[in-house]
Amino acid sequence: MLGIVFVLLTTVQAAAQPAPQDEVKDALAHAEALYYAARFSDSIALLARIDDLLKTQPGKQPEKIDTKLRLALAHIGLNDTAKAKSYFMEVYALNPAYALDADLFSPKVVAVASDAKAEQFKARCSTAQTEARAHVDGGQIQSFLTLLRSLGPNCAALEALKPEAADIAYKMGAAAYKYRDLFKALSNFEMVLALSPEHELAQEYADLTRGKIQVGQDRSLIDWQRAFDAQHFKEAAADYNRLAEAKDNGSTTALAYVRNEYRKALSGLVEEWNRTCAGGNRAAMSALRGRISELLPEPSFGEDLRAQMVSCDETKNANIDIAPKGDNDGTCLTMQSQLAMTRLRSRVDPAITGELRLYLKINPQAVVRVKARINEAGDVTVTGITDGNPLLNNAVRGAVTQWKFTPVRDDSGPRCVDTEITFALKLGQ
């Protein structure tokens, strides 16, 4: 029996080439030995090569910091404090919070590192000043606050911008309040208070805005309850969305109550669906489907509850694009692979061993055609597989036999299905 082939592309991620972790570790240990042997120039030459290697690799911050720290120490050993300071600055560029243990290093090393940290902070502060100016001029006060907090209170240039930023945030808050955009107004007033805690007008407006938001939430909850009890679900959904907006701005109590009420109602409908499904009353099931759809305040609501609905209606209508109805003579339906794959509920990808990885490198466009039988319960048996690499065939067979499909029914009852799937396997980049 011949099915229309469905091409399933399975990409196997190639294992990344292992980073030369041991090589770096060994080189650092050797550089340390050279340092303690007072062979500072040799240690620096080796560490410079490690530093260049690590620059080409993403991440690896601990190794990069360790290398630059050792370079700084070796240059101090040569009394080249200027060069040592430059490497310490690179350390603090990687991690501004890095701290030397004064008990482990000499006062000279600690002093050079301290100077480097101060100079690096000064450079960061100077660079941040331009960025901060752009944030303030553009009215991006939250971005300015984030930058300010990242540098702490010691960047005088940013501290000097705080009054101006607070004034801009206050004006934006007042404008938003005027146009009744209460959440935006409150956000701006809170930014003002973060920049200037003693700003009395911002505090008064913030308190007033919170009060209005609470009144609005209480009104929305009352309106929602009235609409929900009357089963005016479209109106209830609008009130739900207003409460969800309030939740995004810090209020959760009312929304939690509303969601719980929706879940209780949905749970009851799911139970009713499952009872009705067992009786096969299609008209009642269609009505229930409409009630569930009407109830939902948003399309994704209660997915966990809806997943508990049995799929009887789906399977009873699975005769679309399948073989003609008739008496079940025990033979299996021949199904187009595209249609079969729409009924796939769970899948497992082939396990790729080292041998298979090597095979796929040599044969980058390996193809495996699998003839499969899906039984009345949705389980899969591989009935045939094309000639090819036995290891690859076995890997694909092992994966496909773990797949699970939604069972198929027609008017004669449960049916098994024969189909064919083509795997085109290649290593990912």
Q: What is the CATH number of the domain that holds 115?
A: 1.25.40.10
DSSP state of 323: S
Examine the pLDDT at 166 and tell me if it is beyond 90: yes
What pLDDT shows up at residue 223? 87
pLDDT digits (tens, 9 = 90+) for 118-165: 888 888 888 888 889 999 999 999 999 998 888 878 888 888 899 999
Predicted confidence band at 388 (pLDDT cuts at 50, 70, 90)?
low
Same domain, 111 and 146: no
Which has more pLDDT, 153 or 342?
Answer: 153
pLDDT digits (tens, 9 = 90+) for 357-385: 767 776 777 788 888 999 988 899 988 88
Same domain, 106 and 198: no
Number of domains in the chain: 4
CATH number, domain with residue 147: 1.25.40
> What's the rounded Cα separation, in Å, for the pair 270 and 308?
7
Same domain, 73 and 45: yes
Same domain, 293 and 347: no
Same domain, 151 and 120: no
> What's the rounded Cα separation, in Å, for the pair 381 and 402?
9
Per the structure, the complete domain to which residue 71 belongs is given by 21-129
Q: How large is the average pLDDT for residues 29-42? A: 85
Examine the pLDDT at 290 and tell me if it is beyond 80: yes
Task: Kindly list the distances between the CA atom of residue 135 and the CA atoms of 35, 336, 409, in Å, as whole numbers in the listed order.
Answer: 47, 58, 62
Percent of the chain with pLDDT over 90: 16
Q: For 343, phi and psi rounded to 5 degrees?
A: -100, 5
Is 221 within the bounds of a domain?
no
Mean pLDDT taken over the chain: 81
Q: Mean pLDDT check: name the lowest of 107-116, 206-215, 219-228, 310-319.
A: 310-319
Q: pTM of the entire structure?
A: 0.46
Residues 6+ apart with CB under 8 A from 116: 72, 85, 86, 88, 89, 91, 92
> What's the rounded Cα separation, in Å, for the pair 327 and 21?
67
Dmax (CA) of the chain = 96
Is 238 within the bounds of a domain?
no
Same domain, 104 and 143: no
Examine the pLDDT at 73 and tell me if it is beyond 80: yes
Same domain, 189 and 260: no
Q: For 372, phi and psi rounded to 5 degrees?
A: -130, 145
Is 377 within the bounds of a domain?
yes
Pick the last residue of a domain from 110, 129, 148. 129
What pLDDT shows up at residue 8? 54
Nearest to 92, CA basis, from 112, 75, 107: 112
* 233 CB-side CA count, 13 A: 14
CB contact at 8 A, 316 and 276:
no
Q: How large is the average pLDDT for residues 94-122? A: 85
Is 302 within the bounds of a domain?
yes
pLDDT digits (tens, 9 = 90+) for 172-229: 999 998 988 888 899 999 999 999 999 999 999 999 988 888 787 788 888 888 888 8
Predicted confidence band at 328 (pLDDT cuts at 50, 70, 90)?
low
pLDDT digits (tens, 9 = 90+) for 216-275: 778 888 888 888 888 899 998 888 888 887 655 555 678 888 899 999 999 999 888 888
Pick the last residue of a domain from 77, 103, 129. 129
Is 239 within the bounds of a domain?
no
Is 80 within the bounds of a domain?
yes
pLDDT digits (tens, 9 = 90+) for 295-307: 999 888 888 888 8
